[in-house]
Amino acid sequence: QSKRNTARVVGEAKPRAWEEFGETMEQDFRMASRKFCHQLFARVTLVQSLESKLLGNRTNQ
């Protein structure tokens, strides 16, 4: 019974959440695009920084 209720609630919530997400993305496409690019750039920069530190540590050993 509990599993069924949980499955029902989740089943109802998922489409609603995706619909709200889609509406938000449509309303704020430019900002979302900038935010995505900014986050991507930050992650790439972080990875490059970590790689250079790790590789630098290897060459110094």
pLDDT digits (tens, 9 = 90+) for 3-13: 898 899 999 99
Could you give the CA distance from residue 31 to residue 54 in angstroms, rounded to a whole number? 34
Structure tokens at 56: 């630098």
Question: Average pLDDT of 12-19?
Answer: 92
- Find where tokens 């250079």 sit: 52
Q: Per-residue pLDDT for 43 more than 60? A: yes
User: What average pLDDT does this structure show over 24-42?
Assistant: 84
Whole domain around residue 18: which residue ranges? Answer: 2-60
Given this model, what pLDDT does residue 60 score? 55
Number of separate domains in the chain: 1
